[in-house]
Amino acid sequence: MPIIHRHIATLQAALKPVRNQQRIALVPTMGNLHDGHLELVKLAKQHADIVVVSIFVNPTQFGVGEDFDSYPRTLDEDVAKLASVGADYVFAPSSVEMYPVLPPPTTIRAGAITTQLCGQSRPTHFDGVGIVVSKLFNIVQPDVAIFGQKDYQQLAIIKQLVRDLSYPIDIVAAPIVRAADGLALSSRNQYLSADERQIAPILQQELQRLAQQLAAGEHIDKGFNTLITDASERITVAGFKIDYLEIKTAQLEPVIDRLANDGENKKYTAQELIIVVAAWLGRARLLDNQLVTVY
């Protein structure tokens, strides 16, 4: 069984003697662990000798009216699952332990990358992510930290945070883990009714269709916007309320629609794009994304 630490000081005391002789991995989570999280831990074990999993429902990354209070908290089950994959330490602090002053006066903002996509509908979300991840980095001082690719924008923001703040931490991205029908695993999937759960995989199916269209070069004649509009309509008709559906470069920069800009020269150089989507289905806000190489 992993050893549970509720306090910063005891976790640090436990890690101090082994630091530098052994590589330490951090897997930050909000608990309510599913197989996607367990894959993060398995990946962490490949990159380090000691795996610390933090379980903390971070208040600063929830906006007003969001699901902070109802977010599922299942520590006992989480610890049992973590035992099955060999996590060494669970860091499960109280809110007061993490935030003696809440909200903390100090803010961290990872620049323009935070204001698009999820940052549009959740304007304070990534500031909260920035501060809690920085705190966890400073508390654990890991050699490597593992983040899931499902939260693609979060991953990009954390990579930038690590670069801009000179954290000596390798950031490892873990592939999205999906249910058999393709739905990306998420703690928020349990907000779905049985009927909604049947509909939910359509989101991933439409991303795949879009990726195939891009790989086949359909955007060269039709333009990105037409493909996006068509996919949005299908997703909306299926019962989703789309927050955003966008095609970006893998670095989350804008793609240039050459149909509009350069009708003569319909040749693209190979580049990796990402299709990113956030959509509500009932009470659940679902995220998904799909990387695709286009020419």
Given a contact cutoff of 8 angstroms between Cβ atoms, the answer to whether 14 and 5 are in contact is yes
- The CB-of-128 to a copy of itself minimum distance in angstroms stands at 13
Assess 64 for contact with a copy of itself (CB under 8 A). Answer: no
Catalytic residue among 37, 47, 125, 219: 37
Task: Look at residue 85 and give its three-state secondary structure.
Answer: coil
Is 34 or 109 the residue whose CB approaches a copy of itself more closely? 109
Given a contact cutoff of 8 angstroms between Cβ atoms, the answer to whether 226 and 245 are in contact is no
144 bridge partner residues: 25, 170
Given a contact cutoff of 8 angstroms between Cβ atoms, the answer to whether 189 and 289 are in contact is no
Any idea what DSSP says for residue 200? T
What is the footprint of a copy of itself within residues 253-292 (CB under 8 A)?
none
By residue count, the chain amounts to 295
Residue 37 falls in the annotated catalytic set:
yes
Q: Binding site for (R)-pantoate: which residues?
A: 61, 154
Is 106 or 265 the residue whose CB approaches a copy of itself more closely? 106
- The CB-of-110 to a copy of itself minimum distance in angstroms stands at 5
Amino acid, single-letter form, for residue 190? Q
What is the footprint of a copy of itself within residues 125-144 (CB under 8 A)?
130-131, 134-135, 137-139, 141
Q: Binding site: which residues?
A: 30-37, 61, 148-151, 154, 177, 185-188
Is 19 or 178 the residue whose CB approaches a copy of itself more closely? 19
Give a three-class secondary structure readout of 11-49. Answer: HHHHHCCCECCECEEEEEECCCCCHHHHHHHHHHHHHCC
Task: State the binding string over 7-46 for a copy of itself (x if CB under 8 A, else -).
Answer: -x---x---xx-xx--------------------------
- The CB-of-295 to a copy of itself minimum distance in angstroms stands at 29
When binding is defined by CB under 8 A, the residue of 49, 77, 164, 195 that contacts a copy of itself is 164
- The CB-of-112 to a copy of itself minimum distance in angstroms stands at 6
Burial 196-235 (b: 16+ CB within 10 A, else e): bbebbbbbbebbebbbebbeeebbbeebbeebbebbbeeb
Given a contact cutoff of 8 angstroms between Cβ atoms, the answer to whether 170 and 44 are in contact is no
Given a contact cutoff of 8 angstroms between Cβ atoms, the answer to whether 52 and 26 are in contact is yes
- The CB-of-38 to a copy of itself minimum distance in angstroms stands at 27
What is the footprint of a copy of itself within residues 92-111 (CB under 8 A)?
98, 100-101, 104-111
Binding site for a copy of itself (CB under 8 A): 8, 12, 16-17, 19-20, 98, 100-101, 104-113, 130-131, 134-135, 137-139, 141, 160-161, 163-168
